[in-house]
Structure 1
Amino acid sequence: MRGIRSFELPPELQESLEKAKKLEWATIGYQLSVVVVMFLVMGSSEAMKSAWLEDTLGMVPSVVFLIATKINNKKPDDKFRYGYHRVFTIAFLIGATALLVMGLFLVIDSSITLLKGEHPTIGTVFLGDTQVWLGWVMIAALLYSSLPAMYLGFKKLPLAKKLHNKVLFTDAKAQKADYMTAFAAIAGIIGLGAGWWWADAVAAIFISVSVLKDGLTYVTTAIQDLMDRYPVTLEKEEKDPIIEELKEKILTWDWVKAVNVRFREDGQVYLGEVAFIPNGEINLEKMEWAYQEILGFHWKINDVAIAPVKTLPEW
């Protein structure tokens, strides 16, 4: 027997979702201010340009997360019989692809600048009646672009784990590590001020490679999810123990001789099949009871098909 349920988080997780939404709205507002500030002070620095583009791109996960939360709650219909759960996987792929493309562009652009031996300069600006080296202003802007972002990342991380949401998780991890981008760009600016013309381009390449690496990792993960990979944990990408625990639970039923299960990730939730060899006779009441028990085992299990078989399939 089979059932499709519209997605609704358990009451205890609804509060976590609302907190995540508020943090993402705050992130968008903050990132917009960062993009403006960084654009105004970046000058001809390659490192600043790379950091600015990364900050601009940093809004994508927040935007797609908020859009996906709206679509994810839609009920299954005639067109999408399995519901709209996979919208989070699609959102994850969009954000990852944007990172990958931007990282590739930045690596090429920064490498060309280094190979050409271009000598960027950092001038001065007047703050009131005081003439100030623009590098100090750049450093202040970089600190503004990273420290609040780190705080937002730390706040989002536990919520992402509770919600099993990869879009939120990767956004949190990226913001948590924003200090690396800022420190690399600061090192490039200081090096440029010390007369090391190559320091700026090297810092830009470091930032670019970091963006490219994250983009490649996340695109690979998103593609694997779309190919119905076995459900994995967010932190270490190990097999989610929930699946084995469910299998062990089913084996405790005295009318089940043997069982095999397979599940796949569909956004935040899991869809799958359970095949079992009956130990004696079975009836509709037992099947209905089993169906409800499996769906109630964990909130992540949203759709399951149950079938009695003579021989277990090799899943």
Structure 2
Amino acid sequence: MSRHDLGHPALPEERRRDVRRAVRLEVVSLGYLLTCVAVVAATMGNSQAMKAAWIEDLLSLIPPTAFLVAVRVARKPPDPEHPYGHHRSVATGHLVAAVALLTMGLYLLYDNVTKLVTAEHPSIGTVQLLGVTFWQGWLMVAAMVYTGVGPVILGRLKLPLAERLHDKVLHADADMNKADWMTAGGAVLGVIGIGLGLWWADAVAALAISVSVLRDGWRNVRHAVDALVDARAHTVDDTEPHPLNEAARQRLAELDWVREVGIRVRDQGHVFHLEAFVVPHQEQVGVAQLEGAAHLLEELDWKIHDVVVTVVSELPEGKVFVTRGDNRS
């Protein structure tokens, strides 16, 4: 039973404001990233590090696009074909972004290791601008500064929103944005290395960027797959089980008619589906008691969307997380 009647939850006003702000940030991110792609493409020359940075900028377009699509799809109400709603669109978007990251990380790793082994010597020439001739590397460095500063600011703005909305696509995007300064810094070192005659510096910098992309891709694929195969609900950064797992168990264990309780919490995207299995002290449990228990769980947090409370004679072995009641008679 659920206060939402298995429908789309009405977000608190504060969370609705967070969604609107997140959408605006992602639209700004897409516009900014498109300019970054154009700037780097116009200045990268023969630098492998610049090429890797350009490809990463292209990849950075995927998470904000996935977020905007997922938010729109998640608003759809449940229907007979989708009785749980469309909240899993968030997890699907997370997986799409993660697979793209992992694939490109593998490609960049192979490409740059090959360049390093074959000892390719990239060169950076000169350009003429407004009647002044200068080394093209300075244009490359300026492009990397432009592409490195913006994402750091955007990432810091997105991260708290991702945590409050429990949106893993937004969180992955914020992580990528925050790490972009490393990509830009690596590319700058590679370009300067070429200017100093260190041909290998460019390939090494590009290799470091590819390892960063590969690491982010693998971590996000693993977490996205866990969510889709109904792993226990975790925090938005997937570092630990979500506190609502324990909070829900404790809330029901405090009821005087509860002897044992087991909880299953499934991450549906922005919201959780919670199943509670209760072993009561007495044989008869009324509808009012079950409705009261469900209401207590729903009051814990807006993310608890669908709640099912079931009375059982014993807890299903190995399928729930157990908290003992007070054994009050």
1:105 aligns with 2:107: yes
1:185 aligns with 2:214: no
Letter in 2 for 1:261: I
Output the CA distance in 1 between the equivalents of 2:234 and 2:62. Answer: 24
Output the CA distance in 2 between the equivalents of 1:293 and 1:101. Answer: 45
Query: What does the per-residue CA deviation read over 1:49-82, in whole Å, with 9 as the maximum and x for residues that have no partner?
Result: 0000000110100001001100001100011111
Q: Displacement, 1:9?
A: 2.0
Q: Displacement, 1:235?
A: 3.7
Q: Displacement, 1:291?
A: 2.0
Q: 2:310 aligns with which of 293, 307, 310?
A: 307
Residues 47-126 of structure 1 aligned to structure 2 (within 5 Å): 47-126=49-128
Verify the 8 A CA contact 1:72 1:85 in the aligned structure 2.
Answer: yes
Residue aligned with 1:177, SS = helix
Query: What does the per-residue CA deviation read over 1:133-185, in whole Å, with 9 as the maximum and x for residues that have no partner?
Result: 11000000001001011000011111111111111011111111211111111
1:209 aligns with 2:211: yes
Output the CA distance in 2 between the equivalents of 1:66 and 1:7. Answer: 19
Query: What does the per-residue CA deviation read over 1:229-269, in whole Å, with 9 as the maximum and x for residues that have no partner?
Result: 11111246211111111111111111212111111111111
Q: Which runs of 5+ in 2 are unaligned?
A: 321-329
Using the size of structure 1 for normalisation, the TM-score is 0.97
Verify the 8 A CA contact 1:7 1:73 in the aligned structure 2.
Answer: no
Identity within the alignment, %: 42
Match in the other structure for 2:29: 27
Number of aligned pairs? Answer: 315
Match in the other structure for 1:274: 276
Output the CA distance in 1 between the equivalents of 2:143 and 2:10. Answer: 41
Verify the 8 A CA contact 1:107 1:208 in the aligned structure 2.
Answer: yes
1:145 aligns with 2:147: yes
Output the CA distance in 2 between the equivalents of 1:306 and 1:234. Answer: 25
Which consecutive segments of 4 or more residues in structure 1 shift more than 3 A?
Answer: none
Output the CA distance in 2 between the equivalents of 1:274 and 1:267. Answer: 20
Match in the other structure for 1:289: 292
Q: Which runs of 5+ in 1 are unaligned?
A: none
Verify the 8 A CA contact 2:125 2:135 in the aligned structure 1.
Answer: yes
Verify the 8 A CA contact 1:103 1:211 in the aligned structure 2.
Answer: yes
Verify the 8 A CA contact 2:251 2:297 in the aligned structure 1.
Answer: no
1:250 aligns with 2:245: no
Output the CA distance in 2 between the equivalents of 1:94 and 1:277. Answer: 41
Match in the other structure for 2:174: 172
1:238 aligns with 2:224: no
Verify the 8 A CA contact 2:223 2:238 in the aligned structure 1.
Answer: no
Query: What does the per-residue CA deviation read over 1:172-220, in whole Å, with 9 as the maximum and x for residues that have no partner?
Result: 1111121111111111110111011111111111101110111011001
Output the CA distance in 2 between the equivalents of 1:208 and 1:105. Answer: 8
Query: What does the per-residue CA deviation read over 1:26-52, in whole Å, with 9 as the maximum and x for residues that have no partner?
Result: 000000000000000001111000000
Verify the 8 A CA contact 1:125 1:134 in the aligned structure 2.
Answer: yes
Please tell me the root mean square deviation across aligned C-alpha atoms, in Å.
Answer: 1.2
Match in the other structure for 2:326: none
Using the size of structure 2 for normalisation, the TM-score is 0.93
Residue aligned with 1:147, SS = helix
Verify the 8 A CA contact 2:251 2:296 in the aligned structure 1.
Answer: no
Residue aligned with 1:298, SS = coil
Relative distance call for 1:236 and 1:87 in structure 2 (3 A) is: closer
Verify the 8 A CA contact 1:164 1:268 in the aligned structure 2.
Answer: yes
Verify the 8 A CA contact 1:8 1:73 in the aligned structure 2.
Answer: no
Q: Displacement, 1:7?
A: 3.2
Deviates more, 1:59-68 or 1:5-14: 5-14
Output the CA distance in 1 between the equivalents of 2:238 and 2:273. Answer: 21
Query: What does the per-residue CA deviation read over 1:255-304, in whole Å, with 9 as the maximum and x for residues that have no partner?
Result: 21211111111111111310111122311122222222222321111112
Verify the 8 A CA contact 1:110 1:204 in the aligned structure 2.
Answer: yes
Output the CA distance in 2 between the equivalents of 1:210 and 1:285. Answer: 54
Deviates more, 1:1-10 or 1:289-298: 1-10
